[in-house]
Amino acid sequence: MPTTGRTQTVKTRTPDNVTIKPQRMGFEFSEKTPRYWLDNSYFISHTMNALSVLFPQGEQFFVDSVRYFRDQITDPKMKEEVRGFIGQEAMHSLEHMTMNQHVRDQGMPVEELEKQLSVILGIAKKLPKRHQLAITCGLEHLTAMLADMLLERNDVREDMHESMRTLWVWHAIEETEHKAVTFDVFQQVGGSYAERTFYLAFSTAMLGVVASAFTAQMMLKDPKGFSLKDSAKSLWRMWGKDGTFSSLIPTWLEYFKPGFHPWDHNNSELIERFKAQVSEKIAPQFKTGNRRTLQ
């Protein structure tokens, strides 16, 4: 697959009512957060815990893939959005590290999973830089889909324990705000249709394999909670009719349209709907913001 392409001047299409700014939240978790914090489900809770393990290193990969092309960005607004994207991903990393520590304290093999992920990402980092950016675009499409689903579906949010719900809603808001940044950078540096579509399929398959393997390892560390009934119910909820994941398939396929852009689906009203609620949960020490970013 070619890695060269003609760069082009790309204008960001982020709506004017969307601002990409990082915000540290300062989440804390305690024994009040139940072990099975999503619908009291052993299976789904471990699935979400496994996804959380992916975020700190995964989002560092995202940041590095974008930062490499930073000097090729010509649009001032896009440059500002890239700064915001880097800052937001930094905050996601820090907050999910806190969640991951909570999961580790429950006896889950977080450190082992992090080592496995480091090996996988190490292989990905050997790819050409624009291919790494294409992977990031694909994974950002997946996270934007999940974020939109979470903000749209009351049934998913309401089944989360309050402490976890705020973390995931905040993350979903910011993923929605910056959902087009990596895509716009990819277009700016001459990324091709073949590259972006191939790596969406590739990234989806890899995420499915890795997330499933991590979930299985967590479940093996927590055998007392296993239930065939819960597992069957959870799989149906995720992949059955109108399932949380199966319902996203049409949106996933939209990425293959030649003229696709993440803001073709303008869901910015969801940001406005939930941002005030989340702002009330910011820890006092972070009310004025936090400048720490990923390095």
Model pLDDT for residues 185-221, shown as the tens digit of each residue: 999 999 999 999 999 999 999 999 999 999 999 999 9
| Residue 3: pLDDT band with limits 50, 70, 90 | very low
Write the burial class of residue 103 (CB in 10 Å: 0-12 exposed, 13-18 middle, 19+ buried). Answer: buried
Give the C-alpha separation, 249 to 254, whole Å: 9
Alpha carbon 234 to its chain centroid, in Å, reads: 21
- CA dist 148 and 150 (Å) reads 5
CA distances from 208 to 160, 204, 215, 261 (A): 22, 6, 10, 24
**Angle between the N-to-C axes of helices 162-177 and 129-152, in degrees from 0 to 180, rounded to the nearest 10:** 130
Q: Is the pLDDT of residue 114 over 90?
A: yes
Tokens, residue 96: 């999910």
* Average pLDDT over all residues of the chain: 93
